[in-house]
């Protein structure tokens, strides 16, 4: 009976031992006094092969202020998994000028409770390009299904209209060309935002432009939302001197 009980225990615990930690993990990272932020978010995208792991990490205050790094590491243990991750190289950094990326090493423990998986532990690090130590801290992550940094779909710009004007001063008006249902637009003129996420209605959004002679100018109208009735139905009226253009 002792052998049978041991076999049952082995079968019961084996799913935990074979658990694959590959995937996306998100949580919070704290830092002792002296760091750029006392607390910020962390995302690890882990790929495990046998006992070796690799991937990318995102340390971020929000998705506009972040450092993206690659890392390698190892997984040890069976019943109590321990994971060591060492960041190797900064891929992208978008942080305040007075902040320096910290190359961190994480010492983590895997846990599973009530079907919720987590990684937790401590971290230490060095400021990038120096041997000065970063103030260390704690880290806690949970497994998630979606990254906070999914690549945005690239919008394709299509030339819809080409117009010619004789006067340098141009007036542009934007209307909703159908039922007013919450359509909104952003407008770029020569790569500069001139209208930002404004809702369309029967009352126009007006802008005044000054053109340079013999120069080709570009205006892009970006449909931000389609309202309750698709598609986004904006109409653009351009007036220059005695010329008037209505673009759908």
Distances (CA, A) of 214 to 171, 204, 211: 19, 29, 9
Please check whether residue 193 is in contact with residue 187, taking contact to mean a CB–CB distance below 8 angstroms: yes
Beta strand 234-240 pairing with 243-247: antiparallel
Give the containing element (helix H, strand E) for 15. Answer: helix 2-17
User: How many whole angstroms separate alpha carbon 122 and alpha carbon 134?
Assistant: 13
Residue 63 structure tokens: 């998705």
The two structure tokens encoding residue 197: 């996420």
Supply the pLDDT for residue 39: 86
The strand pairing partners of 69, in sequence order, are 57, 90
Do the beta carbons of residue 198 and residue 204 sit within 8 Å? no
Domain boundaries, given as residue ranges, for the chain:
20-144, 169-247
Tell me the pairing of strands 23-30 and 39-49: antiparallel
**Residues 66 and 90: beta-carbon distance below 8 Å:** no
Q: How many CB atoms lie within 10 A of CB 129?
A: 10
pLDDT at position 74: 94
Which of 238, 159, 241 lies closest to 205, judged by CA? 238
pLDDT by position in tens, the chain (length 248): 433 333 333 333 333 334 678 999 999 999 888 777 788 899 999 999 888 999 999 998 877 788 999 999 999 986 678 999 999 999 988 887 778 888 999 999 999 888 899 999 999 999 887 877 888 999 999 999 999 886 555 456 667 788 888 888 999 998 887 667 677 888 888 888 888 888 888 888 999 998 887 788 888 888 776 555 556 667 888 998 888 888 86
Cis peptide before 233 (omega within 30 of 0): no
The pLDDT of residue 232 is 60
Q: How far apart are CA 40 and CA 30, in angstroms?
A: 7
Helix (H, G, I), strand (E, B) or coil at 84: strand
Q: Is 177 exposed, middle or buried (0-12, 13-18, 19+ CB in 10 A)?
A: middle
Specify the pLDDT at position 26: 95
Q: Rounded to two decimals, what is the model's pTM?
A: 0.55
Q: Output the six-digit token pair for 177.
A: 């060309």
- Asked, as a colleague might, if the bond just before 231 is cis with ω within 30 of 0, I would say yes
| Token output for 104 | 């961190």
H or E, element range at 202: none
The two tokens of residue 219 are 């205006």
Cβ atoms of residues 117 and 15 within 8 Å: no
Predicted pLDDT of residue 47: 94
Fold entry, domain 20-144: Lipocalin (2.40.128)
Question: What's residue 12's pLDDT?
Answer: 35
Token pair for 246: 């209505």
């Amino acid at each position: 009976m002792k052998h049978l009980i041991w076999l049952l225990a082995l079968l019961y615990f084996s799913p935990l031992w074979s658990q694959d930690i590959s995937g996306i993990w998100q949580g919070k990272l704290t830092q002792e006094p002296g760091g750029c932020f006392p607390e910020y978010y962390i995302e690890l995208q882990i790929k495990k092969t046998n006992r070796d792991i690799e991937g990318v990490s995102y340390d971020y205050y929000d998705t506009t202020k972040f450092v993206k790094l690659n890392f390698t590491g190892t997984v040890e243990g069976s019943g109590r998994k321990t994971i060591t991750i060492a960041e190797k190289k900064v891929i992208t950094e978008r942080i305040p000028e007075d902040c320096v990326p910290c190359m961190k090493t994480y010492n983590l423990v895997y846990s599973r409770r009530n079907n919720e998986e987590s990684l937790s532990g401590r971290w230490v690090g060095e400021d990038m390009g120096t041997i000065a130590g970063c103030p260390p801290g704690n880290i806690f992550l949970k497994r998630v299904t979606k990254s906070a940094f999914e690549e945005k779909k690239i919008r394709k710009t299509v030339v819809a209209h080409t117009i010619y004007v004789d006067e340098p001063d141009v007036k542009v008006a934007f209307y909703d060309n159908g039922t007013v249902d919450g359509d909104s637009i952003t407008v770029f003129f020569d790569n500069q935002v001139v209208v930002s996420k404004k809702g369309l209605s029967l009352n126009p959004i007006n802008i005044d432009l000054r053109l340079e002679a013999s120069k080709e100018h570009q205006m892009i109208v970006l449909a931000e939302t389609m309202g309750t009735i698709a598609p986004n139905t904006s109409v653009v009226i351009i007036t220059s001197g005695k010329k008037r253009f209505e673009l759908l």
